[in-house]
Structure 1
Amino acid sequence: MQYHIVIEKLCLCALKHQTEQIRSFGTKEEAMEQASEWAETLSNSFCGKHGFDVVEVDDNFVISVEVGGFSEACEI
């Protein structure tokens, strides 16, 4: 069985960096760990206008995009 991480919406920063929207893993534990790391990386490497958080949906993980930060350079 495959477990997926999906970015809810790609903001302009994600599009600019050609960020993939879905990643797949063989175990739920690996997907959960990678989802947390990916959300943290997105939050720290993009413009700062959005925050990224992980929400578990069934056996998959959605990285939600939350408005709020310190820059106005990025848009959803």
Structure 2
Amino acid sequence: MEHHVVIEKLCSCAKKEEMAQITTYDAKEVAHEAAQTQLAYMQGHFCGKHEFQLVEVGDNFVIGMVGGCGCKG
């Protein structure tokens, strides 16, 4: 079974980093670990004008923005 990590909305920071909106993994544990790593990267390296949260939806993990996007791009 496939498990996905989905960035709900690609902000300009994610686009500058050329991040994929959906990545696919064979194991749920691997997908969860990848989602946590990606979330930490986004929170630590993006413009800081918004924050992100990780939500498990079924067998997938969605990284969504908390509030609006204030980054320029």
- The two structures have a TM-score, normalised by structure 2, of 0.87
3-state SS, counterpart of residue 44 of structure 2: helix
3-state SS, counterpart of residue 18 of structure 1: coil
Moved over 6 A (4+): none
- Give 1:67 shift: 3.0
Is the 1:54–1:64 contact (alpha carbons within 8 Å) kept by the matching residues of 2?
yes
Which residue type is aligned with residue 58 of structure 1? Answer: G
After TM superposition, the structure 1 stretch with the greater mean CA deviation from structure 2, 13-22 or 37-46, is: 13-22
- 2 CA distance for matches of 1:42 and 1:30? 18
Unaligned runs of 5+ in 1: none
Which residue type is aligned with residue 13 of structure 2? Answer: C
User: Which residue matches 1:22?
Assistant: 22
Is the 1:40–1:52 contact (alpha carbons within 8 Å) kept by the matching residues of 2?
no
In the alignment, does 2:71 pair up with 1:74?
yes
- Give 1:24 shift: 0.7
User: Which residue matches 2:60?
Assistant: 60
User: Which residue matches 1:50?
Assistant: 50
Unaligned runs of 5+ in 2: none
- 2 CA distance for matches of 1:54 and 1:64? 6
Is the 1:50–1:65 contact (alpha carbons within 8 Å) kept by the matching residues of 2?
yes
